[in-house]
Amino acid sequence: MCGIVAYVGNKPCQQLLIEGLKRLEYRGYDSAGCAVIQDGALRVVKAVGRVSNLEDRLEAIGSFTGTIGMAHTRWATHGGVTDVNAHPHTDDKVGIALIHNGIIENYAALKTYLEEKGHVFKSQTDTEVLAMLIGELYEGDLEKAVQAALREVTGAYAICVICEKEPSTLVVARKGSPLIVGIGNGEYIVASDASAIVSHTTQAMTLADYNVVKITPQGFRTSTIHDVPVTPKIEQLELELQEIELGGYRHFMQKEIFEQPKSLRNCFRGRCDAKEGRVILGGLADHAKELNKVRRISLAAQGTALHAAMIGQYLFEDLAKIPARAEYASEFRYRNPIIEDGTAIIAVSQSGETADTLAGLHEAKERGAFALGVINVVGSSIARETDAGVYLRVGPEIGVASTKAFTGQVAVLTMIALYLGRRRFMSAEQCTELLTALDSVPEKIERILTQDAAIRAVTQKYCDRENWLFLGRGYNYPTALEGALKLKEISYIHAEGMPAAEMKHGPIALINEGMPAVFIANKGRQYEKVLSNIQEVRARGGHVIAVATECDEHIKRYAEDVLYIPDIPEPLSPMLAVVPLQLMAYHAAVIRGHDVDKPRNLAKSVTVE
Ligand code: M6R
């Protein structure tokens, strides 16, 4: 969602701030702004729309040469998309500027208090309230004022604050929203995401909740909001610059679709011993006692991660014989869930920062569940709050439309299901068979990717249609949901995903002449039934595009267009079947002229409930 980058050091920082914002553009935003202390005075510039609009405004003013500053991309929550609501927000009496990710939940009460003290607000945001509160509490020490203000705040925040009365000091803090302090040579770059730091330094400090850091070019001091000193944890950032660059691809989404063979090889490396029929998951190794006790699994996630979790539900019941239920974390959280002894919650999330998923996890933990994470971003909030877990290891996902994280999530859930299955009833032979097939997934995805041009040609035939159906059964019912989500997210085509059998219970009324219906019709237990469902669509004039198993010639009698995937045991088929759907969504968006990596209204990581 919102993005933060800030700098204090000895160099003019305007260009660095803008470059940092560009690295964060993928997170999704609708306005941008920056503040620099220039000749002892705060200079604030904001613009609605892209970072390039902000650049234009800065160019029109003439470059700032200040060596302390900060910049922000805002994804609107409180108040519309306007220049005034964009960050930084200021307290003009003291000369304080602040940028903020997160939500100040008690902002209304704080605002009333500040209005009574004579403060006049320009914006409709919760952030301006925090800026004014810091100003109100300022008594000549910015660090102390920030600590005091944060003691009054409930909600989530990652903030950066500068003050013209202390022109070499940057104060930053976090609770619930990520913030990293990159440590350079006499300079510090703070950001909400390592991608804005890694081209300057790979040494960084990750803040824990309620940490406040006072930074000057001479050094930094870390404390809590109650001013208790904290020993900083400095680590090496793992991120490679090439991982966050396009490297010849037109879009990050396209790059990440094509990266899937490599990302899955990384995900499997050292974890699958097909010869011995066993799975080695370091993140679970120390939790044998709790895992042996697991009698029921709840999976909580949102969006694409939920579709992966739904496949996980099939995997746990099928391969490990453990009752499982996947659901929207946002619904799980508020439906008074029953957590019995022996329940494990698995939070599935690429970013590890999704507020709904985090809230679901908290709820389950409070009720006594053993908490596992299936997360991509190392050290993220969800990763830190789970008892154990397995990282995806698919590398940073920049594309807002999640692709390689989905196949990574399904791969990890498959390995966990096999791991638990082997601890219960599954024979080494059965495990060997599935692990051997799992090992073939990257190479089979490579084969699907060679059909890119053919998939584009099929997409071109139908991408002017405004309504699509995606249908699948069993393991590939969630894959159908994922195909529909991908298409609507980036091409803005209305698409519905559902179990193929459900169509005749109502949605069949939608089918009219020429409506595209994508069926996942790979060889498996329900193949014949899917063929019947296809006929029901054809009989009503719908166009059928089938995702079928290689060498299935019979399907051509039923479907106008066929996209082939290699044969694979059914539990592993979603990892292959989703790839043509990802490519169709990608091509539909490009053909319709949309900016694939910056879809309207979407944010990469949704940190509000
Ligand atoms: O970071 P997470 O995996 O927790 O994100 C969950 C969803 O917000 C995410 O999958 C979203 O649906 C994507 N835009 C899907 O492409």
Split at pLDDT 50, 70, 90, the class of 390 is: very high
- How many CA atoms, within 13 angstroms, populate the side-chain half-sphere of residue 357? 34
Residue 365 known to be catalytic:
no
Separation in Å, CA 428 to CA 275, 414, 569: 9, 16, 17
pLDDT tens by residue, 295-340: 999 999 999 999 999 999 999 999 999 999 999 999 998 898 889 9
Split at pLDDT 50, 70, 90, the class of 51 is: very high
- 349 CB within 6 A, ligand 1: yes
Ligand 1 atom with minimal separation from the 402 CA: 16
What spacing in Å lies between the alpha carbon of 380 and ligand 1's midpoint? 15
Which of 482, 515, 514, 481 is CA-nearest to residue 498? 481
- 400 CB within 6 A, ligand 1: yes
Residue 376 has what pLDDT? Answer: 95
Rounded distance, CA 450 to CA 454, Å?
Answer: 9
Check whether 77 has a pLDDT greater than 90.
no
Question: Is the distance from CB of 206 to CB of 233 less than 8 angstroms?
Answer: yes
- 354 CB within 6 A, ligand 1: yes
What spacing in Å lies between the alpha carbon of 305 and ligand 1's midpoint? 6
φ/ψ (deg, to 5) at 235:
-130, 165
- pLDDT mean over 86-104: 96
Residue 164 has what pLDDT? Answer: 96
Rounded distance, CA 572 to CA 328, Å?
Answer: 23
Name the pairing type of β-strands 343-349 and 296-301. Answer: parallel
Q: ω into residue 599 within 30 of 0, thus cis? A: no
Of the candidate ranges 15-29, 140-154, 187-201, 232-246, the one whose mean pLDDT is the lowest:
232-246
- 3 CB within 6 A, ligand 1: no
Q: Going by C-beta distance under 8 Å and a sequence separation of 6 or more, which residues neighbour residue 515?
A: 465, 467, 468, 469, 541, 542, 543
Question: Is the distance from CB of 45 to CB of 33 less than 8 angstroms?
Answer: yes
φ/ψ (deg, to 5) at 249:
-85, 160
Rounded distance, CA 235 to CA 205, Å?
Answer: 6
99 pairs with which residues across the strands?
160
Which of 545, 547, 585, 592 is CA-nearest to residue 403? 585
- pLDDT mean over 25-46: 93
Site of tokens 């011995």 = 276
Please tell me what DSSP assigns to residue 176. Answer: B
Q: Going by C-beta distance under 8 Å and a sequence separation of 6 or more, which residues neighbour residue 296?
A: 322, 323, 324, 325, 340, 342, 343, 344
Domains and CATH numbers, the chain: 3-242 (3.60.20.10), 246-439 (3.40.50.10490), 445-609 (3.40.50.10490)
- Pocket probe mutation, ligand 1, options 302, 410, 489, max atoms within 8 Å of Cβ: 302
- pLDDT mean over 104-113: 95
Which of 575, 25, 492 is CA-nearest to residue 246? 25
Neighbour tally for 519: CB within 10 Å: 27
Question: Is the distance from CB of 468 to CB of 489 less than 8 angstroms?
Answer: no
Ligand 1 atom with minimal separation from the 382 CA: 4
- pLDDT mean over 564-580: 98
Residue 245 has what pLDDT? Answer: 86
Site of tokens 């350079």 = 184
- 491 CB within 6 A, ligand 1: no
Q: Is the dihedral of CA 72, 78, 80, 85 positive or negative?
A: negative
- pLDDT mean over 538-553: 96
Q: What is the mean pLDDT of the chain?
A: 95
Rounded distance, CA 8 to CA 6, Å?
Answer: 7
Rounded distance, CA 550 to CA 451, Å?
Answer: 12
Ligand 1 atom with minimal separation from the 606 CA: 8
Separation in Å, CA 217 to CA 44, 206, 207, 220: 22, 19, 19, 8
Residue 604 known to be catalytic:
yes
Question: Is the distance from CB of 239 to CB of 194 less than 8 angstroms?
Answer: yes
Residue 451 has what pLDDT? Answer: 97
Percent pLDDT > 70 in the chain is 100
